[in-house]
Amino acid sequence: MKNPDQQNTPSSDDDVVAERVRIFDTTLRDGEQAPGFSMDRRAKLRMAQQLEALGVDILEAGFPQASPDDFAAVAEIAGALKHTTVCALARCQDGDIDSAARALKAARHSRIHLFLSTSPLHREHKLGMSKAQVLDTAVRAIERARGFCDEVEFSAEDALRTEPEFLAEVFSAAVAAGASTLNAPDTVGYTTPTEIVELFRYLRQHVRGADKVIFSSHCHDDLGMAVANSLAAVSAGARQVECTINGIGERAGNAALEEVVMALKVRAPHFGVDTRIDTRQLYPSSRLLTELTGQAVPRNKAIVGANAFAHESGIHQHGMLKHRGTYEIMRPQDVGIAATSLVMGKHSGRAALRQRLQALGHAPDDAALDDIFIRFKTLADHGRELHDEDLEALALGHDPHAVGPWHLVQLHTSSHLGGSASASVRLAHDDGHEIGEAAIGDGPVDAVLRAIERATGTPLELTRFQIDAMGEGGDAQGHAQLSARHAARDWRGHGTSTDIVEATALAALVIVNRIERTTPTAAVAHIKGAIA
């Protein structure tokens, strides 16, 4: 059923406006200005290209007047993007507007985003302006910006704490001056879903020219309601949502783009609107941002967290194996995640264990499965989450806790910016010998893997390499997960250290040790050769 709020939806540049919500991404502006998330120009350009692949309608690339670097980043992005509207932020001041215009010169589609506080608190304490002055400043700025770009957006900063009558007056003047998007930001994350619905309904009724413009929401997450408030605004007629990847942004962040988009998609019959986002690019976008900023998302983060499509409880796993709809409301593939993962821990059941072992290439009969299951439960009951290599070890009758025969004694790496790297390792073997080897590689990780191959005589064809950060600051640990092919089989290992190269070396040694415990003779021959 059509939402009654959609009857009057504003129309603008194409016919399907009524049913489409524009996604305005501000990861590189509101997101990047938050502590811990700054990116250099190269990183911003890389992220902007990914956001274009994701299909965002408008990309706010920065605040050109804020710094020469911000200016250069906006200009670079403006020249690089092909379809996405590139937007630059500006205060309602001539200098800001002119900088934004210059930075956007090369953009195929450009927008200047003007903002000015409208709430009584901001008028008095931040701007020292009367209502009339605010009104006049906004109008003059919009008229100036209008001549420099394809579209002007006007934001009434702290709109949700502004008198609705005054907000409608400012917005009416903004429409008359040439703004085509009116943004009502919940700058301090104060509003609630019912309040924002009321405000958007009020504005759409009282702003003169409301049918010619797009209303936009921009919600912060101070009370944890940014996504709920954005969706409520959509249900009341907002046809642009401003949001960021992973919900990064000032203080507690902005509405998370991936959550807004997937809510609109999964609950499409409820909201009755669509976006142009290629949702399969959501996870890659989230991962890229994590890599560029070094800030991981929590495991339980909706849509893109490690646990978003992971099931450990036996009851849930059993349900999932029968029909995935029992415990999943969307497919991981729809957000760009390869597959659901049934995490093997103390809550897991036999059916999930059998399925996981089969996926790893083992097909135990019922008796063997019983035996593996008992040993698996004993380990899992000690609180461990079991990784694939632990399950493989159990299937092969090995002790997953076994360490050695190789141990890392020393590791040294050096690398040159843009050049090759070298690594030397010293390994001790349980039979009492030590071996040192060195190698060069494309980077320190590659070099250390080559040195370990040489020292142990075990060639590894790397098929997967992932590093995740655990914790923060100086105590942060790198968790390396490696998969490699050796002797026509896949082997996995993981290692943890505050040094990511060491974490990688430890993960590689887990693999080499597993190979050697399975086929020890080749390694013994190698050691004898090395000693001779």
Q: Which of 111, 311 has the CB closer to ligand KIV? A: 111
**Structure tokens, 174:** 């903004």
Does residue 405 have a cis peptide bond before it, meaning omega lies within 30 degrees of 0?
yes
Q: 226, 220 in Cβ contact below 8 A?
A: yes
- Minimal distance, residue 41 CB to ligand KIV, in Å: 21
Q: Which does 318 bind (CB under 5 to 8 A by kind): ligand KIV, Zn ion, none?
A: none
Among 218, 301, 429, 494, binds ligand KIV (CB under 6 A): 218
Return binding residues for Mn(2+). 30, 218, 220, 254
158 binding Zn ion? (CB under 5 A): no
- Minimal distance, residue 186 CB to Zn ion, in Å: 9
Among 9, 27, 30, 180, binds Zn ion (CB under 5 A): 30
Bridge pairing between strands 434-441 and 421-429: antiparallel
- Minimal distance, residue 425 CB to ligand KIV, in Å: 50
Binding mask 17-36 for ligand KIV (x = CB under 6 A): -------------x------
Instruction: Report DSSP state, residue 27.
Output: I
Q: Which does 483 bind (CB under 5 to 8 A by kind): ligand KIV, Zn ion, none?
A: none
Among 10, 31, 64, 185, binds ligand KIV (CB under 6 A): 185
- Minimal distance, residue 157 CB to Zn ion, in Å: 8
**Structure tokens, 322:** 């029968």
Residue for token digits 């191959």? Answer: 453
Which segment (168-176, 182-190, 371-379, 406-414) binds ligand KIV by CB under 6 A? 182-190
**Structure tokens, 507:** 């993960």
Q: Which does 76 bind (CB under 5 to 8 A by kind): ligand KIV, Zn ion, none?
A: none
Distance set, CA 475 to CA 95, 125, 298, 469, 478 (Å): 44, 41, 17, 10, 10
Q: 177, 138 in Cβ contact below 8 A?
A: yes
Give 17's Cβ-side CA count (13 Å radius).
19
Q: Which of 62, 345 has the CB closer to ligand KIV? A: 62
Element counts in the chain: helices (H) and strands (E): 18, 16
Measure the CA–CA gap between 532 and 524, rounded to whole angstroms.
12
Measure the CA–CA gap between 397 and 271, rounded to whole angstroms.
53
Measure the CA–CA gap between 414 and 392, rounded to whole angstroms.
35
By CB under 6 A, what part of segment 85-144 binds ligand KIV? 115
Q: Which does 189 bind (CB under 5 to 8 A by kind): Zn ion, ligand KIV, none?
A: none
Q: Which does 115 bind (CB under 5 to 8 A by kind): ligand KIV, Zn ion, none?
A: ligand KIV
Say how many Å lie between the first and final Cα of the chain, rounded: 81
DSSP reduced 3-state for 174: helix
What one-character-per-residue DSSP string does 447-504 give?
HHHHHHHHHHT---EEEEEEEEEES-GGG-EEEEEEEEEETTEEEEEEEEESSHHHHH
Q: Which does 345 bind (CB under 5 to 8 A by kind): Zn ion, ligand KIV, none?
A: none
Number of shown-chain residues binding ligand KIV (CB under 6 A) = 9
- Minimal distance, residue 336 CB to ligand KIV, in Å: 28
Q: Which of 161, 454 has the CB closer to Zn ion? A: 161
Binding mask 470-509 for ligand KIV (x = CB under 6 A): ----------------------------------------
Which segment (30-38, 131-139, 157-165, 203-211) binds Zn ion by CB under 5 A? 30-38
State the residue number with the nearest CB to Zn ion.
Answer: 30
- Minimal distance, residue 129 CB to Zn ion, in Å: 20
Among 84, 155, 348, 481, binds ligand KIV (CB under 6 A): 155
Could you tell me the sign of the dihedral formed by the alpha carbons of 172, 174, 178, 181, in that order?
negative
Measure the CA–CA gap between 141 and 147, rounded to whole angstroms.
11
Residue for token digits 């430890």? Answer: 506
Return binding residues. 30, 218, 220, 254
Measure the CA–CA gap between 441 and 447, rounded to whole angstroms.
4
Torsion of CA 74, 77, 83, 86, to 10 degrees: -10
**Interface with Zn ion by CB under 5 A: which residues?**
30
**Interface with ligand KIV by CB under 6 A: which residues?**
30, 115, 155, 157, 183, 185, 187, 218, 220
